[in-house]
Structure 1
């Protein structure tokens, strides 16, 4: 993998993990354009590296929240931090079940099926548009809401469905405050990413190619920096109800992807 390819894919991952435009969908499009999917030996490891970079950027942005949650948990009391952590665990269940039982079935969607990515981006556009129309409230995430948001996250395993877009939209449409929706959406993915990384690393399918260490390091840095910027920016955009801009973007990219797949 060339350094420029690693930088581009890292930036794509860092930006699209938080911006509601589907990181998996854009990575598939990026690999198709750059030809990076012709390098299967380091493809899975590179994906793990990029996901670790974005998880780390999330922790940095929400470091105060993460510290408060950890401090509250170690008080071993039924406090707000414990309740929030339980909601995070509940939200992880749907995606964990889908990943465990349907992993082989879902692999077909990550095999250059650009038309599927395009269709899913159109669905993401609809979700974002509907979320932008929702009224502002001060409601928090309930246990039932956490499960519904988790189901949205499970659906977002499909490339082209934005994870942040689906989860934030689900939360907002449930009547949750927009800032709280963004906070919950970004924090809920950290343990899931860590679990997926551990699963991939322990699977024995990750192959490290020595001469790709520099490219992976550069990709990690690019994804981390882009992730910091995108996460911070996205929080402001959700508060200001500007998701419709991303709905338009997903609509355009989705239509281009479908056209590329049919006539490219």
Structure 2
């Protein structure tokens, strides 16, 4: 029962933070250490329930997902410039982080500690401030349909930074999008849509790599955490995506700095 309650807590944390540029992984690592939910199984659990939150994006963007595979809603408006986001845009965006994550998977997992999260929270917050304050003067992409392949590549390269826990995948990619001339909203939409195949691949790889460590007793906590993460994210996703599109990244950076300070206090006092 103790593991089930821990799974519920982590699932709620994931569902609430996945769609904000504050690092859901960083939050789960800090909270997991506070409630003594750590180890290889906990690390894999955190990846699996992220997929639960990502499924909420599938629900929100289901029409867009169908368009990516060639199924278009006849009632959907066609972009005025004739362009539309396609699978190649998505593949270009996920390729850099996907490749580095695959090649250095074990090294990345070694970073899943509160100390590295503190560094990631601060560094990611600084990068987000840079993205907000030095964004491109001319807007080149009002919506994600306006994104070019080059912009997607730059966003994808920036996503490599999110392999460091605490840096934030959405924070790094939204900031990078703004630096390339995309609006905050276009960058956020592309970031969340791009997360679907990336997180699905990461979850599948993690499960296969650590399959021998799991027993039937692990299925229930994993399933509960997955469902809780999905349901909480489903309730939060629409509101949070609008919030990310409207609020400056600077505000989220301030929260990250505060969280890093609190986590550092916990580390120094031995609570983490």
TM over 0.5: yes
Kindly provide the CA deviation profile for residues 31-78 of structure 1, in whole angstroms up to 9, marking residues without a partner as x. 11011115x4x43552343022122111011112112222359xxxxx
Aligned: 1:50 with 2:66: no
Structure-2 residue corresponding to 1:33: 34
- What are the within-5 Å matches in structure 2 for residues 133-148 of structure 1? 133=133, 134=135, 137=139, 139=141, 140-148=146-154
Q: Distance in 2 between matches of 1:199 and 1:24?
A: 17
Match of 1:90 in 2: 92
Q: Which residue of 1 aligns with 2:76?
A: none
Deviations 1:74-126 (A, max 9, x none): xxxxx845x5311110111111221122222222211x3x2221111012222
Q: Which of 97, 107, 110 is residue 108 of structure 1 equivalent to?
A: 110
How many Å separate the matches in 1 of 2:111 and 2:215?
26
Q: Which residue of 2 is the match for residue 66 of structure 1?
A: 65
Matches within 5 A, 1:118-133: 118-133=118-133
When the two structures are superposed, what TM-score results if normalisation uses the length of structure 2? 0.84
Q: CA RMSD in A?
A: 2.3
Length, aligned pairs only? 254
Judging changes above 3 Å, is the alpha-carbon distance between structure 1 residues 252 and 159 closer, same or farther for their aligned structure 2 residues? same
Separation of aligned partners in 1, 2:51 and 2:244: 24
Q: Deviations over 1:162-199 (max 9, x none)?
A: 11111111101211022211110001111111111222
Report the 3-state secondary structure (helix = DSSP H, G, I; strand = E; otherwise coil) of the residue aligned with 1:37: coil
> Separation in 1 of the partners of 2:215 and 2:194?
32
1:198-240 CA-to-partner distances (Å, cap 9, x unmatched) read 2223335354333343322321122012222343123212332
- Give the conservation status (yes or no) of the 8 Å contact 1:25–1:160: yes
> CA separation in 1, counterparts of 2:231 and 2:248?
23
Q: Which runs of 5+ in 1 are unaligned?
A: 74-78
Q: Name the CA distance, whole Å, in 2 between partners of 1:125 and 1:44.
A: 23
Q: Which moved more, 1:2-11 or 1:211-220?
A: 211-220
Given the alignment of the two structures, is residue 162 of structure 1 paired with residue 157 of structure 2, yes or no? no
Judge conservation of contact 2:69–2:87 (CA < 8 Å) in 1.
Answer: no
Match of 2:75 in 1: none
Q: Report the Cα distance in structure 2 between the residues aligned to 1:246 and 1:203, rounded to whole angstroms.
A: 34
- Aligned-partner Cα distance in 1 for 2:245–2:189: 11
Report the Cα distance in structure 1 between the residues aligned to 2:223 and 2:194, rounded to whole angstroms. Answer: 26
Unmatched tracts of structure 2, length 5 or more: 73-81
What SS does the corresponding residue of 2:178 show, helix, strand or coil?
A: helix
1:63–1:136 CA distance, 2 compared to 1 (3 A): farther
Q: Find the aligned partners of 1:261 and 1:248 in 2 and give their Cα distance.
A: 20
Mark the CA change 1:199 to 1:178 in structure 2 (over 3 Å): closer, same or farther: same
Q: Distance in 1 between matches of 2:56 and 2:25?
A: 18
Farther off after superposition, 178-187 or 49-58: 49-58
Candidates 223, 246, 256, aligned match of 2:262: 256
Matched, 1:205 2:211: yes
Q: Secondary structure at the match of 1:36?
A: coil
Is the Cα contact below 8 Å between 1:88 and 1:188 reproduced in 2?
Answer: yes
Q: TM-score, normalised by structure 1?
A: 0.86
